[in-house]
Structure 1
Amino acid sequence: IEVEGAEPGDAVEVEFLEFKDMGWGWTAVIPGFGFLAQDSYTTPIDLSGPGLKIWKSDGEHSRATFGNIHVKVRNFPFPGVIGTALRAPGRWSTIPPRENGGNMDVKHLTVGSRVILPVFKRGALLSIGDTHLAQGDGEVCGSAIEAPLTVKLRVRLIKNAGISQPIFYFSKVKEMDYDEYLAYPGMSPNLWEASKIAVKGIISILSRYMTPLEAYMLSSATLDLKVSQVVDVPNWIVTAYFPLDVIEEREVREELRELDKVVG
């Protein structure tokens, strides 16, 4: 999208007004890609993939089966990618986010939210894509509930903004999207390693009900990684929160509430 009048040093504000899905989405493990792709897992479990899960959406929820478990996830649609053109010329990978925005995968950029992006090229050359129906904070397997969406947005030009990276405004964001969570803390002097410990802990528990690869994909769509503390040296804590509400089988939810059964 070329924004009329946009010049380097300006900014564009994008407000998300509406998302419409087409009734389906997918989550996949792509070999060599994802948070645990290069990890030497502590058990013989192979999480390298490939794996694919198809979801059906009714507009409000997305549903899929993992092992014998029926899963229903609330839709919070958003674009994984939104950004302006980079200052430097050339061909650039769309995988890493940069100062222009890009593949940020911030799940709160849904209806009512806004993002301000710096302008580095005349016209801003705004792009948007990689749309999702839902995602956990972390998108750990490398994909969320990927889905084709129609997006309605409002773009406003801010002259002489002088910003060097994106700024977000979120409206009506709840700390937790669901009512019940099973959580696993990862402890390490390295936040990256702490995150791995936390994710692998949840995958190990969910693997009692589905394959480890399915647990990895389900975690990517629903599990939230949160930094719990960065002050109690030498170990930091990152906690993985898995929402029990997404599991439709009541008996499975009841089992997971009983921590002695989880560890037994």
Structure 2
Amino acid sequence: MAQSFHICPNTKHFRWCRDIPPVLTVPSGAEISFDLHDGGNNQIRLDNTKEALSTFDFTQADPGHGPVFIEGAEPGDVLRVDFLELETADYGWTAIFRGFGVLADEFDDKPPALRMWDLRGAAERRYIVFPTTSEHLRGKIRVPFSPFLGTIGVAPAAGGEHPMVPPMPHTGGNIDTRHITCGSSLYLPIQVAGALLSVGDGHAAQGDGEVCGTAVETPMRCRLRVTVEKGESTKSWCADGPAIMTAPRETRPELDVVAKGGREFMALGVDADLREATKKAVRGVLAWLVTEKGMERSEAYMLASVAGSLKLTEVVDMPNYVVGFGIPLGIFVE
């Protein structure tokens, strides 16, 4: 049987650094459970929603829990992280902050926005209800419940301190990739002895791109298995950064919630600049949600962030890229 270990939520740090002392040492193959604060370090809760955004301290955002030293891990090896359990709290939140998100310049003149999600019973239902303030849509938008960790990474080889955001090219970090669900495996190139793994930023749901800057943020309890892999094949396909083996479809029942023939409304953004193409595609979806579904634009932005899907649909006809951004029709209850 695998050895089991536990990490409490007070083992937090707010930068990536190879010199942070490990809070735990485990053998390869060990299972580790974590009690995690959310990506806002639990600054937004059910009991403080009125003042939470005005007092939010960004220096306390995106904490990493750890680091964990894995015995036998050496630079050049690969750390395989298997996701065994991901349990959310009973609530979550999505917010629009000034200066953050793909369309930050279009929302900076508006007050920050916050929506609180009820996550009770979500694991059984397999969906969560978008907390809209629009009466005609209340209870009629169902977002697939698909928990994952936004932050998971190992310490960088470079000395000094590095910010938790943005993600790092070779060591993971705040990668916010919604496909790392239960039953999946993440492969991280090891940069320092012991790997020094840290995790955090629990999400109950997120769209590809997390376009408004937040997902459904939630405190989380998770259980992971860590294994050092020394095979040359693994090293070759992790040479330039992390890789994922996604969970089989039969272990992801939340996908059926938005099936509806797999249909989605997709806007295309075309531009020589990849970020500008992305902005155009996101704007198109927001416009559709506003005009066809009667949503307020800030809520449409948040819904796009937690349920949308970003795709590179064309990258060879230079100088322009084509980015597709879609919203699944299955989230809307008839």
Taking structure 2 as the reference length, the TM-score comes to 0.68
8 Å contact kept, 2:74–2:190: yes
Q: Structure 1's 87 and 181: CA in aligned 2 closer, same or farther, altered over 3 A? A: same
8 Å contact kept, 2:88–2:202: no
Q: Distance in 2 between matches of 1:48 and 1:97?
A: 28
1:151 Cα deviation (Å)? 1.0
Helix, strand or coil at the partner of 2:323: strand
Matched, 1:61 2:127: yes
1:211 Cα deviation (Å)? 1.7
Paired residues in the alignment total 244
Residue among 172, 175, 178 paired with 2:259 = 178
Greater shift, 204-213 or 109-118, is seen at 204-213
Matched, 1:232 2:298: no
Residue among 231, 239, 245 paired with 1:169 = 245
Q: Distance in 2 between matches of 1:142 and 1:151?
A: 23
Matched, 1:110 2:181: yes
Cα deviation, 1:95-130, whole Å, max 9, x if unaligned, reads 111111001111100011111112222211101111
> In structure 2, what residue type is equivalent to 1:218?
L
Higher relative contact order (CA 8 A, sep 6+): 1
Matched, 1:86 2:156: yes
Counterpart of 1:18 in structure 2 is: 85
What runs of 5+ residues in structure 2 fail to find an aligned partner?
1-67
Q: Structure 1's 126 and 46: CA in aligned 2 closer, same or farther, altered over 3 A? A: closer
Q: Structure 1's 232 and 7: CA in aligned 2 closer, same or farther, altered over 3 A? A: closer
Identity %: 39
Helix, strand or coil at the partner of 1:207: helix
Counterpart of 1:75 in structure 2 is: 145
Taking structure 1 as the reference length, the TM-score comes to 0.85
8 Å contact kept, 2:130–2:303: no
1:234 Cα deviation (Å)? 4.0
Q: Distance in 1 between matches of 2:318 and 2:155?
A: 40
Counterpart of 1:51 in structure 2 is: 113
1:49 Cα deviation (Å)? 4.4
1:77 Cα deviation (Å)? 0.9
1:139 Cα deviation (Å)? 0.4
1:149 Cα deviation (Å)? 1.6
Q: Structure 1's 154 and 48: CA in aligned 2 closer, same or farther, altered over 3 A? A: farther
Q: Distance in 1 between matches of 2:109 and 2:197?
A: 36
Counterpart of 1:222 in structure 2 is: 307
Cα deviation, 1:37-62, whole Å, max 9, x if unaligned, reads 13xx5xxx767541111111222221
1:236 Cα deviation (Å)? 2.5
Cα deviation, 1:62-109, whole Å, max 9, x if unaligned, reads 113322313211111111111001112222111111111001111100
Greater shift, 114-123 or 163-172, is seen at 163-172
CA RMSD of the aligned region, Å?
A: 2.2
